[in-house]
Structure formats: structure tokens, C-alpha cells
Structure 1
Amino acid sequence: MSISVARVPTHSASRYLQQLAKHWAHKMTVAFTAEEGTIDFPNGSRLEMRADSETLDVVLSVPEGEDRDRMREVVSSHLDRFAFREAPLTFDWREG
């Protein structure tokens, strides 16, 4: 399992977390509150998010054999769509 973490600076973290969770809820297993969310992808990857007043923290777990960089791009591009007023968001992806 490959773990990627990023701290994304934004004052709208809770809004973006909820928008992303609702967006993917019809295709994937999703659980979320205003502060935390989890999204399970069909390929076995999992996205965990935590929002506070200044950042959105994301943890992306990708199974061996899946494309980690592609999954990072899927997450960041979707969040950028919801954050169009301040996009592109800054993702400081690093190994977790």
C-alpha cells in the first residue's frame, strides 16, 4: 500500500470536503461530516480528509499495482474544480 499525504491551505476546506464527498457518493462508498470524510474507490484506494479553518488534510492510500500518481491527480483535479475561485490549490504531496 502506498500512502500519500498533503496539507492543502484553504479557508474553505469543509466546503470542498463535503462537495467532493457528495460528488462521488453515487459511485463510491462515502462517509463524511463537515470536518472529516472517507471515500473508498473501486480500485481499492481510499481517500481520508480532515478539514479545519485553514487547511484540508488529505491521506490517499493506493494499493500496490495501482497508479499512485494518477490517483493523486484525480483527487487534486476534482478538488480544484470545486475550488475554482482559488484554484489551483497547493498540494504538497509526500509519502506518508
Structure 2
Amino acid sequence: MFGKKKKSVEKIENDRLMDSIHDIQRRISNVQRLMNNSLEVTDATQLQLRADRAKYQFLYLEARRRKAQAKQTTDIIFGDEDTFLKQPSRAEKHW
């Protein structure tokens, strides 16, 4: 009321959209880890993964269209398995 700036509806909805994107991303990574570590994967698990990927793609494109910005930096695009981002050590540079 006094000196506090109210959040706009657009900002609140963008934050909610980004939270949904992060939740789906965590779910996708957990299911992929589960599939990598298990011997047999059920059809329901594969279908759920495909549905989550489709949801993620839709929400990601919606966030791009809205030009929403994340509150924090995450590894949505660059995960742990991306090796091209790792810099070589000093010893590897000279060889």
C-alpha cells in the first residue's frame, strides 16, 4: 500500500508458467533416469514421458512468445550430459 509496488497479473502468470516448466523438466529428468536404470520399461511410462515432453515443448514456446524470464538460472537447455560446454584443463590445452 505505502511504497510497495504491486505485481502485475502478467508477471504473476509468467512466474507460474516458469514454475510449471521447471516442474515438468524435473519430471522428465527423473523418468529418463528411471528408464536408464531399469531393465524393462512399461508402455505407460513411455507414454507419460512423451506427454511430458509435449507439454514441456508447448510451455517452452509459450514462454518464448511471452518473453518470460526465469527467476533463477537452471539447466533446462544445458544439462549435465552436455560435454561441449566443459572447458579443457590447462594440461589438455597444450596437448
The alignment's TM-score, normalised by the length of structure 1, stands at 0.29
The alignment's TM-score, normalised by the length of structure 2, stands at 0.29
Q: Give the number of the structure whose residues are more often strand, by fraction.
A: 1
For the pair shown, which has the larger CA radius of gyration, 1 or 2?
2
